[in-house]
Structure 1
Amino acid sequence: MSVDRSENATASGGGAEAGDATDAQLNDAGSATREAVIELDNVSKSFAMNDSLLDRLLGNTTSLDAVSNVSLSVHRGETLGVVGESGSGKSTLANLVTGLYTPTEGVISLDGTPVGGATDRPADLLADVGVVFQNASSSINPRMTVGDAIAEPLITQGWSADDCEERIAELLELVELSEHHLDRYTHELSGGQAQRVSIARAIATEPSVLVLDEPVSALDVSVKGSILNLLMRIQDELDLTYLLISHDLSAVKHVADRIAVMYVGELMEVGPAEELFDRPAHPYTEALLAAIPNVDPSSTIEETFVLEGEVPSPVDPPSGCVFHTRCPMAEETCRTTVPDQIEVGDGWSRCHFAESVADDEEVTDAWQ
């Protein structure tokens, strides 16, 4: 997979101090000058479990905390990648930003305006966030032609027929499809072509933000690079802001300016992409990076770190650091005390031993 990042935005940092400072306060001087398009302030999302009638009558209800106390900012023109294992809460976070979910606690702001779920958002802010899903074929009505699928959000926003026709022609050129695709159905397209239609549909109403939920994970390796290059070119041309949800760290490395690492609904680490890959400051980040398949014959890595044990249930998360049940570095303080955000370089880590991990003084021996 070849990705050209030469013209994409340069990495922007997100520093932090220990304590309760928000991510917006912890960005380095370069990022601080850029406008925050998306802001999450102590955002949580809980889902009620299917308790029995007796439990509900007795008040013995349980909830699943999919996202817990997340504070994060995404700046205009940047790509923030959100990574983590399945069940980490990254897709729930994306759904909160798009308005599919309403926060249980905390505040989400778009362009400085606090917003809730989709039904609570003004029409202009609702149209300001586009979404590209993992599987284009399942996210587009199979009974719709490509032309109808792209036109649907425009018609919903009240565009005239002539304006729709003109806009669709612009979008086809932008995503590198031809007019002969207009009368086709998604099942008649290749995976890459279908995803291009999904991208065209997502940017049809001229949003400033795109939420990319695993946009290339369903594609062949040979197609992934071309779609990622397309997304970066469109970002540059339209000055878009991306929230990229992915488990593919190789793809995230090439397109993200900053990366946020999630585990059991909580942020573990946030930092500039290059710095996070070169100098991870959390054992969980280290494990995720080490799990990336290495095909470089010159690599000196002799064995792959393996995360042992199961991901804890978000219904009953561990005390202290939520990662301590799987962390080989864990000590008693990890089991009892929630770690603060520790500034490391231009990013931060929620680990009691963040500086040691970043300096690689203990983590290599611990994992091996």
Structure 2
Amino acid sequence: MTLLELCNVTKEYPIRSRKSSWFGRKKSFTAVNQVNLSLSKGESLGLIGESGSGKSTIAKLIMNVEPITSGQILLNGQSISGNPMKDIQLYKRLQMVLQDSSASLHPKMDVQEILTEPIRNYFPKDKNGEAQCIELLELVGLDATYLSRYPDQLSGGQKQRVCIAKALAVKPDIIIFDESIANLDSTSQTSIVNMLQRIQKQEQLSYLFITHDLQSTQQLCDRVAVMYQGELIETFNQWDFEQLKHPYTRLLFETLDG
């Protein structure tokens, strides 16, 4: 079952040179060009590529942080292109975990307040907030003692676990991870990837895992899509390297093997 689908999605950014006039021809930079991509229920899809390839732009387009220039984005068959996501039930199905966990957590809110906020927003009739917060913490490998802690009292890995718990609080179908473990040491990265695998099986979630880290992608993802200069150049399943066709993709995985 396909949950998320990008159909010929293009994103262009206008460029205005100093020499151009207001009445001159507008120039643009194409960050994402005619991308077709799908994510199925319970699937973990890795989106890889070098910096500037368009990976994070795709995440912004899916979350409607920025409008698409052309094409269409479908969530469970329903178009969300240009939709400000005022429908709260639609929006809660998509959650995102960013790279900078410190910027994602309010410094003056303790963990319980951070986790309670989305629960109150999306489930206002639910009065058992503290119990849900403890359950969320346990799901990401923390315990009730963290409820009263503030972000500056947490390690980088603990902050990212709280961010993941916050995303899980609204019971989404899809979580987008945009370089979410890039700032962590290798031990913390491995621990969080193992945790994400466990949660995915338990909750039947779908992941879009955006990264340049091939090793964590290999560990977590069922299928991989490769971005290069704004275009989706290759998609392959189950890490069957025999499928690789594009020279850029082959170069990526030769580096991994080395």
User: Shorter chain as normaliser: what TM range?
Assistant: over 0.9
TM-score (norm 1): 0.67
Residue identity opposite 1:280 in structure 2 = L
Q: Please, which of 164, 176, 185 is the counterpart of residue 129 of structure 2? A: 164
Number of residue equivalences: 258
Match of 1:143 among 101, 108, 115: 108
Say whether 1:282 aligns with 2:246. yes
Report if the CA contact (8 A) 1:100-1:118 is conserved: no
- 2:35 maps to 70
The code of the aligned residue for 1:262 comes to M
Query: 1:273 & 1:102 partners in 2: Cα distance?
Result: 32
**Cα pair distance change 1:56/1:260, threshold 3 Å:** farther
- 1:222 is the counterpart of 2:187: yes
CA, structure 1 residues 235+282, in 2 after alignment: closer, same or farther (shift >3 Å)?
same
- Report Cα offsets for 1:70-99 as digits up to 9, x if no partner: 011111100110000000000111111122
Identity %: 39
Partner of 1:43: 9
Matches within 5 A, 1:87-166: 87-117=52-82, 119-160=84-125, 162-166=127-131
Cα displacement (A) at 1:220: 0.5
Q: Distance in 1 between the 2:255 and 2:16 partners?
A: 35
Larger strand percent: 2
Q: In the TM superposition, what whole-angstrom CA distance separates every residue of 1:36-75 from its partner, at most 9, and x where no partner exists?
A: 00011100111122444x7352232221211110011111
1:133-164 deviation per Cα after TM superposition (whole angstroms, max 9, x unaligned):
11211221222211111122222225246232
1:57 aligned partner: 22
- 126, 151, 155: which is aligned to 1:190? 155
CA RMSD of aligned residues (A): 1.7
The verdict on how the C-alpha distance between 1:175 and 1:85 changes in structure 2, with shifts beyond 3 A counting, is same
Cα 1:56–1:40 change in 2 (3 A) is: farther
Instruction: Provide the TM-score with structure 2 as the length reference.
Output: 0.94
Residue identity matched to 2:147:
L
Partner of 2:222: 257
The answer to whether 1:240 aligns with 2:205 is yes
Write the distance in 2 (CA, Å) between the matches of 1:95 and 1:84. Answer: 16
Contact 2:8/2:72 (8 A) holds in 1? yes
Determine helix, strand or coil for the equivalent of 1:223: helix
Unaligned runs of 5+ residues in structure 1 are 1-34, 295-368
Tell me what 1:210 maps to. Answer: 175
Whether the 8 Å contact between 1:128 and 1:207 is mirrored in structure 2 is: yes
1:279: Cα distance to partner? Answer: 4.0
Shift of 1:235: 0.6
CA 1:278–1:254 in structure 2 vs 1: closer, same or farther (change >3 Å)?
A: farther
User: Given that residues 136 and 195 in structure 1 are in contact (C-alpha distance below 8 angstroms), is that contact kept between their aligned partners in structure 2?
Assistant: yes
Give the superposition deviation at 1:242.
Answer: 0.5
Q: Which residue of 2 aligns with 1:360?
A: none
Alpha-carbon spacing, 1:141–1:50, altered in 2? closer, same or farther (3 Å):
farther
Q: Is this contact kept in 1: 2:85–2:91, CA < 8 A?
A: no
Matched AA of 1:46? E
Letter in 2 for 1:145: D
Q: Is the 8 A contact 1:115 1:121 kept in 2?
A: no
138 and 280 in structure 1: CA distance in 2 versus 1, 3 angstrom threshold: same
Larger Rg: 1
1:215–1:164 CA distance, 2 compared to 1 (3 A): same
Which secondary structure does the structure 2 equivalent of 1:288 belong to?
A: helix
The answer (yes or no) to whether the contact 2:236–2:243 under 8 Å persists in 1 is: no
Letter matched to residue 250 of structure 2: E
In the other structure, the counterpart of 2:49 is 84
Paired AA for residue 190 in structure 1: S
